[in-house]
Amino acid sequence: MLPNKQRSLYKSVMFGLALLLVIVLSACGGNNNNNNEDKAAEGNTIATYEGGTVSEKEYNSYIGARKLLDQNYRYLEMMPDFQAMVLNQHIAERILSMQASEEVTKESREAAKEASKTMEESLDQNEEQKTQINDFMKENGIGFQDLENYVFTQYNLQAVLSDKFTDAEVNAKYEENLKADKNAYTHATVRHVLVALKDREGKDIRTKEEALVRANEAYDKLKSTGDWDKLALEYSDDDNKSSGGIYEDINVNTWVESFKNAAINQPLNEIGKPVETEYGYHVVVVEARNVKDFEAVKNSVKSEMINAFFLDYIENEVPKLIIGEVNLPKIEEPEAPAVGETPTDVEAPEAPADEAETKKTE
């Protein structure tokens, strides 16, 4: 519940997914019966681009594999023009993954086959899960070979993107970011008590005036006793109240401005007066603060550069490569309820996980 800056979902692109897929595949497994079935007709050509085409079957196979293996895909479906976005990403992945060397391509294929084998062995030990996966694949018109091909492409893609930037280029980006914002890589360990205005469902639980009075009570008691474990449990509405309200070694830029300013500017180990955010009032103590050197954040800087490159390629380069008209499949609209009927309430999905660092601050 601690306020953090939300990043665009579409910018959570696919770099690093290959490693996650191995875990997912290991967990869900499957019997490769579908490999021997006759292949469905390729169907219409959805898009033609410089160097290739995307058939309806290929597009549907990609969609099906992503639905199963990419936890963020369901959120893409909620966005306007998601089909075009997914198509462009599919084309980008295909083009870029083909830039892998022959050696890398061979290794990727072997790794994908090994993942598929692990799938098979795992699911054979879990009949309930096996039935669920098989039913899902049947409903979405995909087989285990489609999943293997998808994983193969992700391995190749990861290898290609990993080689896009040298350490010198990444270091230059690190210095550029620091020059633009001296706190770009400032991390802090803080404890806080959040006196919230609303509960998790968004219902009002107290007014701003009531919240400030309660926050000042917590502040006074914390100043006199320093007992964060006890007082966080008593006063805080944040999910981390059972751990003394602590958030360890977090990049301050993940927080909204007023909380970020407290993390940057409060003297170390001094409890500050309540800080107001849109969520309520926070009583904060900063226990540690430091600027991470290049080696400590090199991988995250490189990942950001790769994500930016990949996103730019999807949004700006792929459209230039597409030739002629794109014929995306039509999405069937759900039937409208009859007069007098009330549509079934659908529970809103939880917010998708971003990076681990952001996840820790939600």
Q: What is the DSSP letter of 55?
A: E
Mean pLDDT across 110-114: 93
Mean pLDDT, the chain, as a whole number?
83
Q: What is the pLDDT of residue 339?
A: 45
Band the pLDDT of 31: cuts 50, 70, 90. very low
Q: What is the mean pLDDT of residues 182-211?
A: 96
pLDDT above 90 as % of the chain: 69
pLDDT at residue 210 greater than cutoff 90: yes
Residue 357 confidence (pLDDT) above 60:
no
- Residue 29: pLDDT above 80? no
Q: Are 108 and 15 in contact (CB under 8 A)?
A: no
Using only C-alpha atoms, the chain has a radius of gyration, in whole angstroms, of 25
What confidence tier does 4 reach under pLDDT thresholds 50, 70, 90? low
Question: At residue 35, what is the residue type?
Answer: N
pLDDT for residue 22: 39
pLDDT band, very low/low/confident/very high, at 80 (cuts 50, 70, 90): confident
Which of the four pLDDT bands, split at 50, 70 and 90, describes residue 329? Answer: confident
The whole-number pLDDT of residue 193 equals 98
How much is the pLDDT for 279? 95
3-class DSSP state of 198: strand
Q: What was the pLDDT predicted at 120?
A: 81
**pLDDT tens digits, one per residue of 251-291:** 999 999 999 999 999 999 999 999 999 999 999 999 999 99
pLDDT band at 342 (very low <50, low <70, confident <90, very high): very low
Percentage of residues of the chain with pLDDT beyond 70: 80
pLDDT at 344: 35
Q: How many angstroms separate the CA atoms of 208 and 187, rounded?
A: 29
Whole-model pTM above 0.75? no
The residue assigned the tokens 């107001």 is 276
Spatial separation of the C-alpha atoms in residues 360 and 250, rounded to whole Å: 8
Q: Is the pLDDT of residue 306 over 70?
A: yes
Q: Which residue has the higher pLDDT, 147 or 71?
A: 147
Specify the residue for token string 């969609």. Answer: 63
**Taking residues 221-243, what's their average pLDDT?**
96
Query: DSSP letters of 221-257?
Result: HHHHH--HHHHHHHH--SGGGGGTTEEEEEEGGGB-H
Helix, strand counts (H, E) of the chain: 14, 7
